[in-house]
């Protein structure tokens, strides 16, 4: 796929169709099948969502009896969906009032972990080489902070970038990133789309120390598009979602050039997200066949270099913690690994009990030490309770 702005459909000019051209030929051929990417849409549900909470926590003989005040703590941490899958057994499930078990939920940065799996699949096939430089695949990034670092540096977020990930600061790069992707109202001078924004990023480019930066994941998605010749959403479907045995389609937000917001834009049901966790604990195999190699999964679950971890909050909670392949690795005795997103999204793996815990939330603040501490403690207590569950 050539150029910074992939066309919306084969043969179209970049950036088309527009809000003014989509009803006209030839743009209508693509637009009539993808209108949700151009015009806001509302779901016409196939069934009514429940009016009351769905609570199946096992009672006094299950998790509810082993984790003190479990339901109350789920409510207090603004939980929208929670489930525990041990092996293939659904041990516990909770959905807040008005949120249906088959309703999709935004994953925020758990989306990054899905991208890590897709990149791993393409590494397995020899289409991406982690030791190669980013600009080998995306020469448009020449002159940016990504000019020099390797794909591996991007995967593990080991690049010094002038990028402020303060979600509540309007002047932060993360908000400019959002605006470029269509997540916030545009301002004068904002880059036209996500890929253009990525080319503007600067910094020392030094490698070896962890810096959490959402731009890394969108660089990975750009590489995915370049080596496959497909849109990121199509590759995410082909390489991952279509093999999961998912109950429902997932979705991903896209910018004006049709580029998927890989770092945080995926929505899916809690039950289908649990299938992603199951894939990891099953060594990369899903009901539809192998998704990613066992070697890639082992490398993820083993964690990265704790010496590189510079996130003070994570390092305090998990002294042996690390980040690798777009996953957070606690380095604790249980070997817990998680995809984590702001406002309380978790895809938590507990290898010792062969369990997956999904918690999708809507915290009132995006990213505070207090919320992370409360949620992390709850997830760990649930993991410990699984050791004692019959």
**Would you name the residues annotated as active-site residues?**
109
Nearest to 87 by CA among 287, 362, 277, 240: 277
Q: Are the CB atoms for 351 and 335 separated by under 8 Å?
A: yes
Question: What span, in angstroms and rounded, lies between the C-alpha atoms of 225 and 240?
Answer: 15
Question: And the tokens for 387?
Answer: 């050791």
Which strands make up the sheet holding 89-95, listed edge to edge? Answer: 54-56, 89-95, 79-86, 355-361, 345-350, 337-341, 327-329, 322-324
Question: What span, in angstroms and rounded, lies between the C-alpha atoms of 322 and 290?
Answer: 26
Question: And the tokens for 274?
Answer: 């649990």
Quick one: angle between helices 270-281 and 294-302, nearest 10? 100
Question: What span, in angstroms and rounded, lies between the C-alpha atoms of 107 and 98?
Answer: 18
Distance, C-alpha 169 to centroid of its chain: 22
DSSP state of 59: G
Cβ neighbours, 10 Å, residue 222: 25
Q: Are the CB atoms for 159 and 247 separated by under 8 Å?
A: no
3-state secondary structure 323-345: EECCEEECCCCCCCEEEEECCCE
Question: And the tokens for 335?
Answer: 């070997």
Vertex 98, ends 95 and 104: CA angle to 5°?
A: 65
Residue 236, sorted as left (phi over 0), alpha (psi -120 to 50) or beta, turns out to be: alpha
Q: What are phi and psi of 38, to 5 degrees?
A: -115, -40
Strand duo 79-86 + 355-361: pairing: antiparallel
Question: What span, in angstroms and rounded, lies between the C-alpha atoms of 129 and 22?
Answer: 38
| Integer angstrom CA distances of residue 250 from 83, 257, 280 | 18, 20, 18
């Amino acid at each position: 796929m050539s150029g910074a702005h992939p066309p919306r459909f084969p043969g179209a000019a970049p950036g088309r169709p527009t809000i003014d051209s989509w009803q006209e030929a030839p743009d209508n051929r693509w637009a009539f099948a993808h209108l949700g990417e151009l015009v806001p849409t509302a779901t016409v549900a196939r069934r009514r969502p429940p009016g009351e909470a769905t609570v199946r926590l096992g009672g006094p003989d299950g998790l509810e009896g082993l984790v003190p005040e479990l339901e109350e703590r789920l409510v207090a941490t603004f939980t929208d969906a929670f489930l525990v899958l041990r092996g293939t057994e659904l041990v516990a499930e909770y959905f807040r009032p008005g949120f249906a078990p088959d309703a999709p939920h935004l994953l925020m940065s758990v989306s990054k972990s899905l991208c890590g799996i897709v990149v791993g699949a393409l590494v397995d096939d020899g289409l991406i080489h982690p030791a190669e430089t980013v600009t080998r695949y995306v020469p448009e990034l020449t002159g940016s902070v990504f000019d020099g670092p390797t794909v591996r540096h991007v995967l593990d977020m080991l690049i010094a970038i002038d990028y402020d990930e303060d979600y509540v600061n309007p002047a932060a790069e993360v908000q400019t990133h959002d605006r470029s992707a269509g997540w916030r109202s545009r301002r004068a001078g904002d880059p036209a789309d996500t890929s253009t924004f990525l080319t503007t990023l600067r910094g020392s480019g030094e490698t070896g120390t962890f810096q959490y930066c959402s731009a890394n994941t969108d660089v990975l998605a750009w590489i995915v598009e370049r080596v496959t010749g497909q849109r990121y959403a199509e590759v995410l479907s082909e390489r991952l979602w279509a093999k999961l045995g998912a109950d429902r389609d997932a979705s991903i937000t896209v910018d004006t050039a049709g580029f998927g917001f890989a770092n945080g834009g995926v929505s899916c049901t809690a039950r289908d997200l649990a299938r992603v966790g199951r894939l990891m604990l099953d060594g990369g195999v899903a009901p539809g066949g192998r998704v990613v190699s066992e070697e890639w999964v082992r490398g993820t679950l083993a964690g990265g270099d704790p010496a590189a971890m510079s996130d003070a909050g994570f390092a305090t909670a998990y002294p042996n913690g690390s980040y690798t392949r777009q996953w957070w690795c606690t380095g604790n005795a249980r070997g817990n690994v998680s995809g984590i997103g702001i406002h309380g999204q978790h895809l938590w793996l507990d290898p010792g009990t062969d369990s997956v815990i999904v918690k999708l939330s809507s915290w009132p603040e995006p990213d505070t030490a207090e919320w992370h501490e409360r949620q992390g403690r709850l997830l760990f207590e649930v993991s410990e309770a699984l050791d004692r569950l019959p």
